Amino acid sequence: MLDSRVASFAKIKFNEYYRKAYIPISELSRREFGFGDFESKIVKRHISFRTFNEFKSYILSDTPAFISVSTSIYRYPSARPMEKKERIKSELVFDIDSTDLNLKCQLKHGRSWVCSNCLDATKDEVFKLVEDFLVPDFGVPDDKITINFSGNRGYHVHVIDEEFMNLNADARKRVSDYITGKGITLSRFFPNIDNPKKQLRGPKPDDAGWGGRIARGMISALNSGEERLVSLGIEKPLARKLLRSKADVIMGITTGNWDKVNLPKKAEVWNSILKAMSISQTTFIDKNVTSVMDHLLRVPNTIHGDTGLISKSVESISALGKFDPMKEAVLFRGGTVAVHVNESPVLEIGGSSFGPYKDKDVELPTYAALYLMLKRAAVFR
Ligand SMILES: [Zn+2]
């Protein structure tokens, strides 16, 4: 349980923010809302509002720790059970969280904390998702994609294009499978992979979809050198062998000839590359895009009750590169709070660095104190 003094302090601070906050929600009256406390992200759901003001007075009268909204639009958003809501359409949503990326830094700082490496890695996944898949392969116009920081460890990507919002569960599953590279068989791109005697034919860089992606990815990996090849799962001696004939191998790939160097266990090598190139958070994407169209997700620009940060909207994909969530999603910049920190790794927030701490009394800016207290790492002194 969150310390009760911390909970009431946080509620007061959250309320202060919501009094002035601008929270745009499209088709608000046709969405289902859910609210949570500091123990559970959704305590109440099946709630709807006719107007923004109605929503606002609700959150001001008893300020929640989490505010979530349906990614679906319904005829009767507060009806229950779910079928009675009569779903009209649903955003296609991707939830990218650092805990799904198996990052090495997490072994050091633990899964519930984020460092700048974690946040950069989730950003890279967003770029990959949008620029390698949604825009080129699915033709989603980039102004129909919205991105927001989750308020904790990653990003939410929403596709709000009408065409995609009308996809049924089955089509959503296929989108997800395509992006995660699930069901992509090597033989689709390398038709004679099982016949080692024949010259291995494969995709060319200008092929559409995954084929072109594999070819371009391989060329760029060859150009980046040994370390990159090894990160794709190629063993060192093999990587060196490929690099010795680099120019030749690249020339080959541009014409679809993948057999310029004789590789033992060809199928295994190319399979591992395929896997490394696909986006890595399969299970999370699945959870959101498939049959779970009754999913509730944090409302952009509302506060995450485990951090005190807002799920800040990012203006566009091109603005994401420079977006620093640990600065731009920070509220409560005024004042300081005296806390006792039980234990925390280094915290980089609001442009400053705090800690690491262990059993330490410190006075911190409100935002940093709140972050640590909501993460259950600190209490009021
Ligand atoms: Zn990290």
Residue 360: CATH number of its domain: 3.40.5.50
Residues 191-205: what's their mean pLDDT? 85
- The answer on pLDDT for 261 being more than 90 is no
Structure confidence at residue 279 as a pLDDT band (50, 70, 90): low
- The answer on pLDDT for 268 being more than 90 is no
Distance CA 293, CA 290 (A): 7
Distance CA 172, CA 291 (A): 8
Asked if residue 163 and residue 259 are part of one domain, the reply reads no
pLDDT at 280: 45
Asked if residue 210 and residue 85 are part of one domain, the reply reads no
Quote the ligand 1 centre to 98 CA distance (angstroms). Answer: 8
Asked if residue 13 and residue 159 are part of one domain, the reply reads yes
Domain assignment present for residue 185? The answer is no
Asked if residue 149 and residue 42 are part of one domain, the reply reads yes
pTM for this entry: 0.85
Cα dist. 92→55, 58, 159, 287 in Å? 24, 28, 5, 11
Quote the ligand 1 centre to 115 CA distance (angstroms). Answer: 4
Asked if residue 218 and residue 120 are part of one domain, the reply reads no
Asked if residue 149 and residue 214 are part of one domain, the reply reads no
Per-residue pLDDT reduced to its tens digit, 326-344: 999 999 999 999 999 999 9
Helix axes 169-180, 282-289, angle to 10 degrees: 160
Distance CA 124, CA 128 (A): 6
Domain assignment present for residue 372? The answer is yes
pLDDT at 235: 87
Quote the ligand 1 centre to 324 CA distance (angstroms). Answer: 15
Quote the ligand 1 centre to 99 CA distance (angstroms). Answer: 9
Quote the ligand 1 centre to 152 CA distance (angstroms). Answer: 12
Asked if residue 209 and residue 141 are part of one domain, the reply reads no
Domain assignment present for residue 182? The answer is no
Asked if residue 367 and residue 265 are part of one domain, the reply reads no
For residue 261, the one-letter residue type is: V
Per-residue pLDDT reduced to its tens digit, 61-83: 999 999 999 999 999 999 999 99
Two tokens, residue 103: 């990052």
- The answer on pLDDT for 281 being more than 50 is no
pLDDT at 267: 74
Quote the ligand 1 centre to 15 CA distance (angstroms). Answer: 31
Per-residue pLDDT reduced to its tens digit, 157-189: 999 999 999 998 888 888 888 887 777 777 888
Quote the ligand 1 centre to 120 CA distance (angstroms). Answer: 9
Domain housing 88: 4-176+283-323
Quote the ligand 1 centre to 96 CA distance (angstroms). Answer: 14
Residues 284-291: what's their mean pLDDT? 50
pLDDT at 282: 44
Q: Which secondary-structure segment (H or E) carries 169?
A: helix 169-180
CB atoms within 10 A of CB 99: 17
